[in-house]
Amino acid sequence: MTVIYLILGCGLLVVSSLLLRLMRPASTWLSLVVFIGALICFIAEYGSIAGSFVSIASALLINLMVAFVFGKSISVR
């Protein structure tokens, strides 16, 4: 169960980060919603305090990775 929660949580964080990268208002809000989904996964696994710490730290790391791998999104208009 731990592995499932962790994979799901990290997956949601990656999606949240990719949505945030688009820099559009709608995607930013959607990114927040997806992040809350990830937060729930981590809280289910580690409890409220530890889960919150884990999800924030993981989000920081995953956003950093997304920045390193994908860089800034360029709008095609």
Interface with other proteins, residue 72, by CB under 8 A = yes
Q: Which is nearer to other proteins, 23 or 36 (by Cβ)? A: 23
Q: Is the CB of residue 33 less than 8 Å from the CB of residue 49?
A: no
- C-alpha–C-alpha distance, residues 46 and 22, integer Å: 30
In whole angstroms, how close is the CB of 52 to other proteins at the nearest point?
10
| Binding-residue total with other proteins (CB under 8 A) | 26
Query: Tokens 């990656």 appear where?
Result: 14
Interface with other proteins, residue 54, by CB under 8 A = yes
Distance of CA 25 to the CA centre of its chain: 17
Residues 6+ apart with CB under 8 A from 64: none
Contact with other proteins (CB under 8 A) among 1, 26, 49, 76:
49
Interface with other proteins, residue 60, by CB under 8 A = yes
